[in-house]
Structures are given as C-alpha cells and as structure tokens.
C-alpha cells in the first residue's frame, strides 16, 4: 500500500489531504453526525406521532370534545380518520362540554352515527356533557357518565341585547336599508316586534324538535317521553341514567373497558389519540395568541342558535 494512503474500514483516504485540511474534515464529520442525529429524531417522532399505525396489540381510539363546541372541523376529521383505520377496534368519545353551536353539534352527531356502523363507540362524560355536549353523545352504542356529571339541558337558546336606549342617550342614531321587513330581525338597535318573536320562536321550536327526535332515535325512547324532560333542565349522571339518557355510571377507564368488551378485546387495549398538529415555532405562538383572543371573543359575543348550557358547577 502506498505510504500516503490510509486504510479505514475498506475506505481509502489520502493522508496528505487530511493533514492539510483538518478543519474541513472535522466539519464533515460533525455534519455527518448531526444529519444522522436528525434522521433518528425524525424517525422516532414519526413513530410516536403516528402510533395508531403500529401493528402492536389491540387498540381503542380516544377522541376528545372539550369546551364549547364552536367548530366541528377538527373533531369530524379525527372521527373519519379513526373510522378508516382498521387497526383501531373501538372508539371512546370523551365529552366535557357545555355544548355550543347547533350546526357543529349536528355535524359531529352525524359522523359519530356513521362511525357506529363500522366499530363500537362509547361515550365517557366528564364534568359536563350538557345540551350540545349531550347531543353529540346520543348516537353512541353506550354512554357512561360519572354520578355527578352534569348533563341534559335539552333545549335551544338564542340571545339578543338591545342597545337602543343607550344610543339615544349618547345621541347616536342608526339607519338601516333592508330588502325585507325581517331582514334585520334581532337587531340590537330596534325593539323586537311580536312578529319577530313569533318567527324566532318557530325557528327555535323546529331545532328543538330535531334535538328531541335525535334523542328518541339514539336512545330508543318514545318522543313523548323525551318531551317530558326536554325543557332545558339539567340532570346528574345518576338522574340521567334513571330516565334512559345514560347507560351506566363510571369514569373514563370504565368507558374504555366497555369499549374493549364491545370490540371483544381480551386484556387491556392500547389507547390511541389523534396525532397533534405541529406548527413551526413562530406559527405556534401566533396561533396560541390568536386562539386565546378568538376564544374569549366567541365566548363573550357568540350569537345564533345554540345547544348550550350556560351554568357552572363545582365543589
């Protein structure tokens, strides 16, 4: 072997090159190590972030509906993904929500109903699963609630605030040009007429009946039986069980066991949660700031038809 060549694991490096450029060689070695380290991190993160795709053991998916229901996009996407994933044998829907918008609640309801056609779905109720929070639970195969869970509140609500007297006091006047008599129905700058109220009441009554019909169908109850307690009142989990709104009492782990039984899973299943979205560093802080601002704004000024319970409870 020539004196200027060094054997290193079958690879040949010219010694003069290494001696003349040691700094460059050091950079190359450090760069190679860094790239390898990044590849390992990405691989591990991919495995952890997509653990639902690992063919290891029996799996139960967990979807969470937490807080006011103001949008259905994320939840619907998670339901559809779990529906298509054959490795997930059952799903637990964890609900801790006072309800929210009628549209989003109904969209989640429809997807839960479709999900029950392909795999068992069990609802686990947290501290509150009222109004729209109960609506989304209705199509599930089983509903499990804590004895002290606040649920029910079967009803629809719309709220309007009138600022007309305040505007008159500070000398502000509002001018409206409209295409029809009721185009500005619910306006905060004019009194609500009897005809306005009748129109809105008809709207609410129709949406309320949709809620009642959904419960009667999902819980296999007579419509008249549901109407007897669908007046907006709330129930504890134990009271709800007595009238057929809840199947059994228990916590989240109990709901997981029920789901495993329905899916005929022996032993403890592995719980799988939807992967979290991973925005970049700057985008993350911008989204967090905007999210908190938007949430506060929505909670203070949300309008339109709502399946929502506005109370609070604690001990």
Q: Residue 163 maps to which CATH number? A: 3.90.226.10
Is 4 a member of any domain?
no
pLDDT confidence of residue 200? 95
* Distance (Å) of CA 146 to CA 10, 43, 126, 128: 67, 40, 7, 10
98: in domain: yes
Domain count, the chain: 1
Query: Which residues make Cβ contacts (< 8 Å) with residue 314, sequence separation at least 6?
Result: none
Examine residue 297 and state whether it is found in any structural domain, yes or no.
yes
Long-range contacts from 48-56, C-beta under 8 angstroms, 24+ separation: 49/275, 49/276, 49/278, 50/275, 51/272, 52/82, 52/85, 52/87, 52/88, 52/272, 52/275, 53/85, 53/87, 55/87, 56/270
Query: Which residues make beta-bridge pairs with 66?
Result: 96
Tens-digit pLDDT profile for residues 19-56: 556 666 666 667 676 666 656 654 554 444 444 444 46
Q: What integer pLDDT is reported at residue 168 of this predicted model?
A: 87
Active centre residues (catalytic): 131, 183
Q: What per-residue confidence (pLDDT) applies to 10?
A: 47
Q: What does pTM read for this prediction?
A: 0.74
Considering the domain boundaries, does residue 210 fall inside one?
yes
Instruction: Give the pLDDT confidence score for residue 99 in this predicted structure.
Output: 96
Residue 85 lies in a domain: yes
HSE, CB side, 13 Å, CA atoms: give it for residue 7.
4
Domain of 122 in residue numbering reads as 58-308
Separation CA 291–CA 279 (nearest Å): 14
Is 131 a member of any domain?
Answer: yes
Q: 125 vs 36, which has greater pLDDT? A: 125
- Bridge partners for 157 per DSSP: 306
Residue 34 located in a structural domain: no
In a domain, 246, yes or no: yes
The vertex-102 CA angle with 100 and 108, nearest 5°, equals: 85
End-to-end CA separation in angstroms for the chain: 84
Rounded Cα–Cα distance for residues 56 and 283 (Å) = 34
Q: What is the pLDDT of residue 49?
A: 44
């Amino acid at each position: 072997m020539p004196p200027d060549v060094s054997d290193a694991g079958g690879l040949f490096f010219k010694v003069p090159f290494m001696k003349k450029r040691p700094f460059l060689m050091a950079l190359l070695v450090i760069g190679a190590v860094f790239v390898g380290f990044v590849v390992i991190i990405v691989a591990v993160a991919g495995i952890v972030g997509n653990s639902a795709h690992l063919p290891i053991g029996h799996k139960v998916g967990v979807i969470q509906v937490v807080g006011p229901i103001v949008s259905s996009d994320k939840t619907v996407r998670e339901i559809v993904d779990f529906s298509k994933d054959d490795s997930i044998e059952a799903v637990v829907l964890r609900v801790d929500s006072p309800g929210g918008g009628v549209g989003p609640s109904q969209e989640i309801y429809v997807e839960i109903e479709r999900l029950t056609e392909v795999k068992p779905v069990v609802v686990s109720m947290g501290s509150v699963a009222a109004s729209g929070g109960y609506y989304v639970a209705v199509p599930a195969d089983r509903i499990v609630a804590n004895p002290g869970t606040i649920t029910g509140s079967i009803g629809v609500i719309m709220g309007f605030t009138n600022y007309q007297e305040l505007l008159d006091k500070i000398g502000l006047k509002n001018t409206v040009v409209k295409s029809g008599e009721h185009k500005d129905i619910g306006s905060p700058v004019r009194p609500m007429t009897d005809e306005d109220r009748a129109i809105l009441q008809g709207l609410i009554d129709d949406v309320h009946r949709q809620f009642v019909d959904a419960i009667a169908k999902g819980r296999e109850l007579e419509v008249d039986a549901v109407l007897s307690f669908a007046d907006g009142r709330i129930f504890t989990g134990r009271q709800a069980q007595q009238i057929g709104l809840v199947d059994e009492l228990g916590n989240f782990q109990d709901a997981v066991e029920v789901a495993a039984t329905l899916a005929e899973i022996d032993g403890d299943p592995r719980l799988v949660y939807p992967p979290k979205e991973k925005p970049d560093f700057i985008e993350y802080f911008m989204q967090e700031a905007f999210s908190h601002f938007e949430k506060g704004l929505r909670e203070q000024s949300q309008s339109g038809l709502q399946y929502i319970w506005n109370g609070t409870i604690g001990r």
